[in-house]
Amino acid sequence: MPRFFIGSENICGEEAFVTGADAVHIGRSLRMRLGDEITLCCEGREYSCKLLSISDTVCRCEIRSCAEGESEPDIALTLFQAVPKSDKLELIVQKAVELGACGICPVLTGRCVSRPDEKSFRKKLDRLNKIALEAAKQCGRSIVPTVSEIISFDECVKRLCEKDIPIICYEKGGKNLREINWGDRMANMSVGVLVGSEGGFEPSEAEKCISAGIIPVGLGSRILRCETAPIAALSIIMNLTGNM
Amino acid sequence: MPRFFIGSENICGEEAFVTGADAVHIGRSLRMRLGDEITLCCEGREYSCKLLSISDTVCRCEIRSCAEGESEPDIALTLFQAVPKSDKLELIVQKAVELGACGICPVLTGRCVSRPDEKSFRKKLDRLNKIALEAAKQCGRSIVPTVSEIISFDECVKRLCEKDIPIICYEKGGKNLREINWGDRMANMSVGVLVGSEGGFEPSEAEKCISAGIIPVGLGSRILRCETAPIAALSIIMNLTGNM
């Protein structure tokens, strides 16, 4: 069933409204008709709706039922990804959304070859957030994970330390993800996962993380590419926490 | 350290030989010099070598030491992948090699939109095997996993049934990968994982698998793309079996 994300201001009692490009999409691309059913997602809840009116500016919907989104994991996982070369971040964002991340935060580390300035990255950011939105629709998320602005390595360490379980995937090895105690966790536990760019991390960066209490984790003896490591780590964490 | 795969006919007592394009690569692209060290892989073993002579046709190497490849998993995992659209199979092959698969076997299922004939696929197969070789070098494998010819769905079921643990990733759900008993396994246990193309499997195909004893497995409540599912499944299996 077609799936759209709306803001809470677009829900009014028993009715909900789809506006802008999504309204055009409903009427023209999908050629939906009055009475057809769509799912509207708003702040983690899913509304099963029936179309009452269709136009290029607004589609009015009757809300038939509402439920918590079933596809959301019960952990809040943020991926901190060192900026990789070329368009690899696009693949990483798409896959992280499919795998259940609640946010993706690009980081500048010492070994990043690609070092976009704020202005040139802002253009990329629009595109990355569109990819996140499309992935969220396609895989049935009920929130849209956001890709945030690039942060420095020090800021990343700070934010990681605010998570219940902060992890750095370190190419020189560390704990196995299975050795982390995922068992007795509180609801909506926060997890932060830092993954390096091509070439991984400077030893000084890894030391900084470890002395700040961030758990170094190894992903086995094969050298994973910088876009494979986050996909593998997220898959494994979602499985170990019962979310996949 | 540069890494090349050679056939057993290229090992002769204390010496090993690199020929063809790899010899050119050593001398011209990598600009290596006499005395430089390289790793040669042959049938799962790794030979630490020193270059004795370099030419465009053959590089002669002194074998310094030899060991079993440490990066090989202790399970033999074959990915049976229903042929996806466009060039997604290239990404899947690259990632499956990084994640430790020993072979990738494309399958034609009912819902495959892309249905290449044998001849047109043979060209693709060359390219896919080149991708597998490059991935094996890059991630430090000591064997080169092969991409085999396309097989029919019935042939796939037959081959899956020959594996110690045969699995189908089914979008309508099944066991969680953690529920499979990976514990008391024999050395070099064989695992077969079947993943669908866009749109997954026909119900009749899933039934055929299940009645043949193939274990249906679910990958959570989010709808994974057909290239994400094998990457996630392989990551999780390698973690659960202690290989990642």
ipTM of the complex: 0.92
Residue in B with minimal Cα distance to A70 = B221
In this structure, the number of other CB atoms found within 10 A of the CB of residue A179 comes to 10
Alpha-carbon distances, residue B125 vs A23, A229, B118, B149 (angstroms): 44, 26, 10, 7
For chain B, say whether A183 makes contact (Cβ under 8 Å).
Answer: no
Confidence label for B120 from pLDDT (cuts 50, 70 and 90)? confident
In this complex, the residue of A71, A95, A225 whose CB is nearest that of residue B221 is A71
Chain B contact for A50 (CB, 8 A cutoff): no
Q: Are the beta carbons of B32 and B132 closer than 8 angstroms? A: no
Distances (CA, A) of B207 to A23, A117, B214: 40, 54, 10
CB B31 within 8 A of CB B65: no
Percent of chain B with pLDDT over 70: 98
CB nearest to B139's CB, from A177, A224, A242: A224
Tokens 């992935």, residue located: A135
Average pLDDT over residues B5-12: 94
Cβ neighbours around B118 below 10 Å, total: 9
- Enclosing H/E stretch for B193: strand B189-195
Residues of chain B with CATH 2.40.240.20: 3-68
- Structure tokens belonging to residue A33: 């008709």
On chain A, the residues whose CB falls within 8 A of the CB of B222 are 71, 98-100, 139-141, 244
Nearest Cα neighbor of B194 from B221, B161, B145 is: B161
Nearest CA in chain A to B219: A244
Phi and psi, residue A3, nearest 5°: -135, 130
DSSP state of A41: E
Global confidence as pTM: 0.93
Q: What are the pLDDT digits (tens) for A55-86?
A: 999 999 999 999 988 889 999 999 999 999 98
Residue B141 forms contact with A (CB below 8 Å)? yes
Q: Residues 77..106 of A with a Cβ closer than 8 Å to B: which?
A: 95, 98-100
Res B9: pLDDT: 94
- Look at residue B119 in the predicted model and tell me its pLDDT: 84
What integer best gives the mean pLDDT of chain B?
94
Alpha-carbon gap, residue B99 to A139, rounded angstroms: 23
Rg (CA), chain B: 20
The residue to which tokens 């042959």 are assigned = B42
Contact B71/A at CB under 8 A:
yes
pLDDT for B188 equals 80
What's chain A's Rg over C-alpha atoms?
20
State the number of CA atoms in the 13 A half-sphere of B116 facing the CB.
Answer: 20
Task: Report the C-alpha gap between B101 and B147 in whole angstroms.
Answer: 10
A9 SS3 class: helix
In three-state secondary structure terms, A18 is strand
Question: Which part of chain B is CATH 3.40.1280.10?
Answer: 75-240
The pLDDT tens digits of the residues spanning B166-180 come to 999 999 989 999 999
Question: Which residues 6+ apart lie within 8 Å of A132 measured at CB?
Answer: A93, A94, A97, A104, A144, A145, A146, A147
Q: Kindly give the pairing relationship between strand A37-42 and strand A146-147.
A: unpaired
pLDDT reported for residue B1: 84
Name residue B107's beta-bridge partners: B82, B151
**Are the C-beta atoms of residues B10 and B19 closer than 8 Å to each other?**
yes
Cβ of residue A238 closer than 8 Å to a chain B Cβ: yes
DSSP code for A186: P
Distance of alpha carbon B136 from alpha carbon B43, whole angstroms = 13
Per-residue tokens: A27: 């009427």
Beta bridge partners, A79, equal A104, A193
User: Is the CB of A223 inside 8 Å of chain B's CB atoms?
Assistant: yes
Which of the two residues, A199 and B98, has the higher pLDDT score?
B98
Strands (E) across A20-130 are located at 37-42, 45-53, 58-68, 75-82, 103-108
Report the alpha-carbon distance of residue B28 to residue B40 in Å, rounded: 18
Q: Is A159 on the interface with B (CB under 8 A)?
A: no
pLDDT at position A106: 97
Across the interface, whether the CB atoms of B139 and A244 are under 8 A apart is answered: no
Across chain A, which has 244 residues, the per-10-residue mean pLDDT values are 92 94 93 95 93 95 93 95 95 98 97 88 94 95 95 98 97 94 78 96 97 97 96 97 93
Write down the pLDDT at residue A188: 80
pLDDT at A37: 96
How far is the C-alpha of A91 from the C-alpha of A231, rounded, in Å?
Answer: 10
Which CATH superfamily includes the segment(s) A3-68? Hypothetical PUA domain-like; domain 1 (2.40.240.20)
Q: How many other CB atoms are found less than 10 A from the CB of residue B113?
A: 11
CB of B4 closer than 8 Å to CB of B137: yes
User: What's the fold here for domain A75-240?
Assistant: Alpha/beta knot (3.40.1280)
| Chain mean position to CA A45 | 17
